[in-house]
A and B are shown apart, each in its own frame.
Chain A
Amino acid sequence: MNALPATEHAPKEFVLEVEALTVSFDGFKAVDDLSFYVDENEIRVIIGPNGAGKTTVLDLICGRTKASHGSIRFRDRELTRMKEHEIVHAGVGRKFQNPTIYEELTVFENLELSIPRGRTVFGALGFRRDQAVLDRIEEIAEFVFLKDHLKTPSAILSHGQKQWLEIGMLLIQDPSLMMLDEPVAGMSVGERVKTAELLNNIIKDRSVIVIEHDMKFVEDIAHRVTVLHQGKVLSEGSMEHVKNDPKVVEVYLGH
């Protein structure tokens, strides 16, 4: 349905509009005049060779890196001028490339800290672990296959489980845009299948941007694919379209 090349539609509401985005580090343009648009309920996968600027794009959207030029509009809010935690409050969640979880704490506590309640200093001091909290944690833990591990210190989870936990930590915030940097890295084949299923379930009410190298997985989940090369969009469209694009073939074979 959605798997059509990005074409000139009538003006419509996108969840995310990235326009003319540029960032340079000491003169090197990691992202160069980049524009792309993400739809409601879309899974967009960004692929590209190493150094193409994929992670930098996510860094720019979530405010970790400041753009030199260009704009990032998310539901009519300009993200380039907001602080990181404000961007999260606006509804953007981000998973890091290496599973980034609180290893000293249990799965339960990891999820609890991610609940969007008591986010101020005094809010956190007064936060109570009530029934609503328990129910929400249980719901999300079940979703990311960790319900039987709630009391497990997260340090001893398998690599794949850590990835799921971090996805769960995003989900519990109920973001309308989720950005996942290599969510299946280090996962077994079985875990990858489950993760693809998981992602297809969570887009019911949100959009997802995924960076991934595993082409099989990309084919399983992508509605549209954006190929980045040297900070620019090389090609965009369905997986089928992108795979047969001579420019893409050249870049990948050239490496």
Chain B
Amino acid sequence: MSGLVEARPRPGLRRLAAVPPIWLVLAALLVVVVWRDPTFAQPASLLAFLKRCAPLLVLALGQLFVIVGGEFDLSVGALVTACVVIAARLGDGDPGRTWWVVAVLAVFGALVGLTNGLVTTLLRVPSFITTLGSMLVLNGAVFLWTGGAPTGALADNLRVLGRSGMTGVPVVGQLPWAVPVLVVVVTGATLLLHHTRFGDQVFAVGGGPRAAMLSGVDVWRIRTATFVLSGLSAVLAGILLAGFAGLSADAGSGYEFQAITAVVLAGAVLGGGRGTTVATVGGVLTLQALFILLNLLGFAKPLRDSAEGVLVIAAGAYTAYRARRSG
């Protein structure tokens, strides 16, 4: 359907129309932010902004795969918390243990994703319930293990990724490590979702599982793979957040809904088959820019939630309106 439209010539105009509308919203927000606080336009502030966005961005890109494939992952917030708490408990502040702690976390995240995926696809449990269940199990198990409160400490070299940066970089001075990490993650996710056979299959599965199955796609394998990717993204988000915010018992709480919000802002459709990585990046940046603007305008912190609510409904309405108009 959209493939036919895209096949028409006039690439210049098409390219302009293809800019995800969320980037226009982001540009408008950033203009207002810079107008209220000119220092925000300095390279250092912009990089700090990216650093702040990093955990949610990684998480949202993982969620994007699951949503494009037609499911949800509500467990990522609890998984982020679990990763931070496990890293502190196992690492206990010892930099020498960091590498195997990271390895353990990666395996753990992949296993949680695999379980979510297999329970959803093979046991036919709706993903809403599966991932709600794993959220409860993770919350319960992690704190049962640590005795109610997080124990141990985060090693300094584990926190480097989310907290510090390369020094002596020309123009900007210090470049947060989170920025090159984001470049790699965004590039990787874009290539995987939009330029590989696997990515095409994710879209096919989300667009119509039956049609995908009849054309030879292993629906359950593709969907399970999206959950594994989401689990791995939660691990990386957890490591970034451990660096940025440190150890806390509710490190990742609420992140699952924020990630879904960001993906929806980007024009993805719950139910699957639509969404792009570039727009998702725009969605996350928009959400954080909105928070900064509300802060600058002196709104009470809880009102961020209300603004987020209005924004997500508006985005949902716009996406629905565009879908009706186009067909």
**Does chain A bind chain B?**
no
Which B residues fall within an 8 A CB radius of A? none
Which A residues fall within an 8 A CB radius of B? none
